[in-house]
Amino acid sequence: MASKSTPVSSQAAVSTVALFHNKDKAQAVAASVAVRRLLERERVTVRPATVDRAPSWLKDCDAAIAIGGDGTMLRIARLLAPAGVPLLGVNAGGLGYLSALDLDDFAREVKRVAAGRFVVEPRWMLSAEVRRGGRRVFGPGAALNDCVMRCGDQARAVRFEVESLGRFVAAYFGDGLVVSTPTGSTAYALAAGGPVIIPGVDALLLAPICPHALTQRPVVVPADHPLTVRLTRRNPSDRPQALMALDGQVSHRLAVGDEIHISRGPHPFKLLVPPERTHYELLRKKLKWAER
């Protein structure tokens, strides 16, 4: 079992950086050139990397920088977590909720980044695998935000049964179910009516998607209680179609009787953030929280 969430810690001075960017976005490509130039002025060695695989030299880096949007951050987080390399996000996409800085901010903050005056904020990740007839057919796969199980191509309601520690929790009938980390509570789970959970809280969030019941609401459970989610029939003649997706990027089709086993992942993701930033500030800035 991985360790529980821990407080932020100081980052050492940075001498070598892995630089990732979304090559499909012209803005990110241009920004990567500017970021590299700024870092090299601070005598930081920059090693370009691609978002599709972790390079063998990654563990030799003091930090990584991702240029893009939240999708880029999620993809790279899954690469970096096993290596233990902290990641700083520079937003060149849309919302950029996971990114600490915009490009203009980075130009002002590059000296502080190079000097190691940002802090490491650990974010624990989910691990999910699919078992069919007792045999593993998918995974284990990691997710920083969430594991989503939803109806398939026919857009018909599906039924999922959930167990925790071998005990029945609930049966959900509707469009699906989101199992989210605190980091992911501001993503799909929020749109499904779930609460915002501040990162560092040791909890999992279960949020039903469009449940066909007035009494089913999101529920928060301990993070160290593994979950088993099973796709079942509501009626003997049902042939439900369903899909499981990790962070909306890695997916697997589900069959009746499939079990999705979800637990805390073995490797936390390390996010680099300015020491003065608070999660409440981020909610106000990015999601316009508590504004009238």
Q: What is the DSSP string of 61-103?
A: -SEEEEEE-HHHHHHHHHHHGGGT--EEEEE-SSS-TT-SEEH
How many helices (H) and strands (E) would you count in the chain? Answer: 5, 19
CA gap 284, 52 in Å, rounded:
32
- E strands along 76-202, which residues? 87-91, 101-102, 119-123, 126-132, 135-143, 146-151, 158-164, 167-180
Strands 9-10 and 16-21 turn out to be unpaired
Residues whose CB falls within 8 Å of the CB of residue 39, separated by 6 or more in sequence, listed in order = 17, 19, 46, 65, 110, 113, 114
Catalytically active residues, by annotation = 70
Sign of CA dihedral 268, 272, 275, 280: negative
What tokens appear for 116 in the block? 């190691």
Helix (H, G, I), strand (E, B) or coil at 36: helix
CB 85 within 8 A of CB 18: yes
